[in-house]
Chain A
Amino acid sequence: AQKITQTQPGMFVQEKEAVTLDCTYDTSDPSYGLFWYKQPSSGEMIFLIYQGSYDQQNATEGRYSLNFQKARKSANLVISASQLGDSAMYFCAMRGDSSYKLIFGSGTRLLVRP
């Protein structure tokens, strides 16, 4: 079985500071992928970043980076230089290569303070 756990229901960060959103996962698949999505108050799901389980380096996309620690089964999202527009729900998700299914965590609501 696959499972994603996001233990932070809500977080605050000051504008221009960095913030880390936690994600741990569990899977029996030897090969898998990890995704982060952003859901602003308007409701759409926006893809942010992907990390493959065999990727040697941590993924980065602009201000987003993924702190991937395979032995600890964690895939934390780091947002640098937070902006007011970063206020949103953030979802971690996983897909094992034996399945087409994307399994989502329960999300973390981030609020950026001016």
Chain B
Amino acid sequence: NAGVTQTPKFRVLKTGQSMTLLCAQDMNHEYMYWYRQDPGMGLRLIHYSVGEGTTAKGEVPDGYNVSRLKKQNFLLGLESAAPSQTSVYFCASSYSGQGEAEQYFGPGTRLTVT
């Protein structure tokens, strides 16, 4: 099992450009999440999904959109990138959103917006 994978691993964008980050999991998990991690800070939730076809906003959703068309995939889009979106992005998944269900994380995507 590959677990949670993220594509790409690194990306540099110019201000105003758009891009999509792809997250895939092969554990048949219902719940998927997108986080960002900035220097000296913990992870902050951007958007999440509790099942195929559903999405919801997290703590810091502005400037991002997401889609969950297939259970195994969760896409994060930046329509018009800004330097403030320079960060490391992590995708995660879990079988449940409650109790002891741990979240399994992907390796991260380092995004730089110039």
Q: Is the CB of B43 within 8 A of A101?
A: no
Residue of B nearest to A50 (CB): B100
Interface residue? A68 (CB, 8 A):
no
Number of interface residues of A (CB under 8 A): 24
Contact of B45 among A97, A101, A105 (CB under 8 A): A101
Q: Is the CB of B45 within 8 A of A44?
A: no
Contact of A35 among B40, B98, B102 (CB under 8 A): B102
Contact of B102 among A9, A47, A91, A105 (CB under 8 A): A47
Report the separation of the CA atoms of residues A50 and B96 in the bound assembly, to the nearest whole angstrom.
14
Q: Which A residues from 33 to 53 make CB contacts under 8 A with B?
A: 33, 35, 37, 43-45, 47, 50, 52
- Cβ distance A33 to chain B, nearest Cβ, rounded Å: 6
Residue of B nearest to A109 (CB): B40
Residue of A nearest to B100 (CB): A50
Segment with Cβ contacts to A, from B18-26, B73-81, B103-111: B103-111
Q: Interface 1/0s, chain A 97-111, versus B by CB < 8 A? A: 101111111110000
List the B side residues contacting A93 at CB < 8 Å: 42-43
Q: Is the CB of B107 within 8 A of A107?
A: no
List the B side residues contacting A79 at CB < 8 Å: none
List the A side residues contacting B44 at CB < 8 Å: 104
List the B side residues contacting A97 at CB < 8 Å: 98-99
Quick one: given A91-B42, A106-B40, A107-B42, are A43 and B99 in contact (CB under 8 Å)? no
- Cβ distance B46 to chain A, nearest Cβ, rounded Å: 11
